[in-house]
Structure 1
Amino acid sequence: MTDTLTLLLAPDRPIIVAFRDRATGPALLRWAVQRSLITGQHVTVLHAIPDQSLVLPVEAGGTPYGTLIAAARLILDDESRLVCAEFPGAHVTANVHSGDIVDALVSLSEDASLLVVGADRVDGHTGEYLGSVGQQAALGSAAPVVVLPREPRSGNATVVVGVDGSLESEAALRVAAAEASRSGGQLTVVTSANATDAPGGPAEHSTSSALEDIRGQYPQVTIARQIDDQRTPVQSLLFHAADADLLVIGRHGRGARPGILLGSVTHTLLLDPQCPTLVVTRRSPQESSALTVRA
């Protein structure tokens, strides 16, 4: 199993962008391309159209399926040219998928470095969430997943990570430290007092030990430790990540589609992310061994 840090920077693994439409897709593509110029990876932009069996037949007034494919390809080609003109040196390829977008993302994640998806849409009248692509991708993906907010905004050069002493959060901490080092930003390590055991317990000891390793590995990174005893884990991460460039969390929950469960904190944070939210989905061999021992 590939280590997450190695996976995120693997030059032969693409960044996959889920392009929903022209209203939201260009911002996701631009974010991915800017990252790719630093990591040296290429970007694959993916758009899904319904399976042909679900499209109204031509004789019933529907659009020919070939026309739908050509229109989708035209949009992707246009947006790819625009972003490459804006960022010379970018390498972008386009892929039109026939069928379910989550199925395509989960399949492609096996060979990807990162999946980039947008936050799920919200009905402007009822406030109800429309779909769950971000959450389903985060749980089913073999590669890390970043979910971008519906309204992208500039952050304050801070990477925030939530830790609770679990193996998942320790993996997230190491990824967050590497991201802060790469971007030159500050690392804020957030723990909700409601998420761990008593002060001085095993979870706190595990986090402190991991932080010592991080400080030794990334001496140039400024690390701020926040133990929040006023808020729940979700409230605490939403508060501290409000102006951040990136929030990193470990994936709690297991399984693959269908019949999957996502940890409650991850589930809530991905409904309405305050900033780009990176979900660490894959354990390193060392982490997997430790999990087996503890199980």
Structure 2
Amino acid sequence: MTDTAQQHAILAGVDGSDTALLAVRWAALEARRRDLPLRLLHVGVTYPLIARGHDDGIVAQGDEWVNAAAGVAAGAAPGVRIERQVTLGDPAQMLVEASGQARTVVLGSRGLGGFGSLLVGSIAVTVTAHAHCPVVVLRGEGLPRADAPVVVGMDGSPAGESAVEFAFEQASMRQAPLVAAHTWHESALDGAWVAEPFAIDVAETHEGERRLLSERLAGWREKYPEVEVRPEVLHTRWPAKGLLEAAAAAQLLVVGSHGRNALTGLLLGSTSQALLHKAECPVAVVRAEDG
């Protein structure tokens, strides 16, 4: 069954798993906040060596899962417009294609059925790396507290700036504080390896990083004066560890990713992958062109 999708819907992947239903709840609330339709998509995997009639069973199962997800969405966000689609094909490829008509893609970190074990590291990572819009991946068993902060990792890159814009927008819509987290370590400054890190004045460098972060935030503070901003500079060799600590009580962690042009090869940087594996809160991955 297919309903015509409108451009810039919130797109949620559906596969019958608990984490997919959690993603549907998050997506329904996001759609209501943005006054956009919610599109529920199930992609059933076909097997060439199995009889054609088996496809009908896959579609029927997908219809059942999507209808159940629609009930969950309606309960989470009454009045939200819901579109439903069940199709057959390659889940990652079709989700990436569908993201071109979406404002945000929302996925559970682990799945069943049509998404054939939607483990972080396979389909979810592929979609986050190649989607045409931001992708939010949810883990755990429940949604975070609505009064918790939004956390964004800031590194000054184009992808990082796109992530910052998305994070400020999210904090504004949710009326939540924004923690702007920047990590640094003396082993690498300005992209160059420091042979003698002990020679670095850590306190002075830390203060310089704090000033730089404040400068990067100035324009965003002017654009979003209603958002309470909490700059946080973290001295750590491992950016993912620092961001996980900053997001320990967050309702959303936002990071940038450069992605790749093909559905092969290295899909995400080590920091993004680590956050998708370890973060307890939803993680939004924003590519440079997502904006």
Please, what TM-score do these two structures have when normalized by structure 1? 0.80
- Given candidates 44, 47, 66, the residue that maps to 2:56 is 66
CA drift at 1:168: 1.6
> What is the one-letter code of the residue matched to 1:160?
V
RMSD: 2.8
The answer on 1:180 being equivalent to 2:186 is no
The answer on 1:273 being equivalent to 2:279 is yes
Secondary structure in 2 matching 1:78? helix
> What is the one-letter code of the residue matched to 1:57?
A
Question: What aligned pairs does 1:213-292 form with structure 2 within 5 A after superposition?
Answer: 213-230=219-236, 232-283=238-289
- Given candidates 151, 159, 164, the residue that maps to 1:160 is 151
Q: Which residue of 2 is the match for residue 57 of structure 1?
A: 51
Indicate how the Cα distance of structure 1 residues 87 and 207 shifts in structure 2: closer, same or farther if over 3 A, else same.
Answer: same
CA drift at 1:212: 0.7
Question: What aligned pairs does 1:40-189 form with structure 2 within 5 A after superposition?
Answer: 40-53=35-48, 56-57=50-51, 64-120=54-110, 132-155=122-145, 156-189=147-180
Taking the aligned partners of 2:222 and 2:72, their CA distance within structure 1 comes to 42
The C-alpha deviation readout for 1:189-213, integer Å capped at 9, x for no partner, is 1111227648499987764333111
CA drift at 1:136: 0.6
Secondary structure in 2 matching 1:143? coil
Taking the aligned partners of 1:246 and 1:26, their CA distance within structure 2 comes to 18
Structure 1 residue runs of 5 or longer lacking an equivalent are: 1-10, 123-128, 288-295
Count of aligned residue pairs for this structure pair: 264
**Identical columns (%):** 29
> What is the one-letter code of the residue matched to 1:113?
R
Taking the aligned partners of 2:277 and 2:189, their CA distance within structure 1 comes to 24
The C-alpha deviation readout for 1:78-130, integer Å capped at 9, x for no partner, is 331343255321111111121211011111111211110111469xxxxxx67
1:118·1:150 contact (CA, 8 Å) conserved in 2? Answer: no
Taking the aligned partners of 1:44 and 1:196, their CA distance within structure 2 comes to 44
Task: Answer with 109-118 or 203-212: which moved more.
Answer: 203-212
Structure 2 residue runs of 5 or longer lacking an equivalent are: 1-5, 113-118, 191-199
The C-alpha deviation readout for 1:154-185, integer Å capped at 9, x for no partner, is 23420101112222212211221121111111
Please, what TM-score do these two structures have when normalized by structure 2? 0.81
